[in-house]
């Protein structure tokens, strides 16, 4: 699934199997869930991100601060890119 150029309220994407790619989105919240497949988000501006894949890697490229970022992967790596001024606590 490929999504780009979204602006607005929440963006919720769910796929049982298959990768999800989102580019250039400005939303109040984003939730992505896939049973099997990579999650790749670049150019994302959101205060709330919830990303979940049972099997696959997660790549998140933020362009602004976020209040909450939750990432879960059963097996696979996680890469997060943030602006130079980003402040965070890791839990």
- Of 41, 36, 45, nearest to 18 by C-alpha is 36
Residue 88's pLDDT is 75
Query: Tens digit of pLDDT for each residue in 2-38?
Result: 999 999 999 999 999 999 999 999 999 999 999 999 9
Structural contact between residues 34 and 20, judged by C-beta atoms closer than 8 angstroms:
yes
Q: If you write DSSP's letter for every residue of 8-74 in order, what string do you get? A: EEEEEEEESSS-EEEEEEEEEEEEEEESSS-EEEEEEE-SEEEEEESSS-EEEEESS--SEEEEEES
Q: How confident is the model at residue 85 (pLDDT cuts 50, 70, 90)?
A: confident
């Amino acid at each position: 699934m490929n999504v780009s150029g979204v602006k607005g309220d929440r963006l919720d994407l769910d796929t049982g199997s298959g990768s999800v790619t989102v580019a250039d989105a400005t939303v109040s919240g984003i939730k992505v869930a896939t049973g099997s497949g990579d999650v790749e988000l670049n150019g994302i501006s959101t205060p709330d991100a919830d990303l979940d894949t049972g099997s696959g890697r997660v790549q998140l490229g933020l362009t602004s601060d976020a209040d909450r970022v939750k990432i879960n992967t059963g097996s696979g790596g996680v890469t997060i890119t943030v602006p130079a001024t980003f402040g965070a606590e890791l839990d």
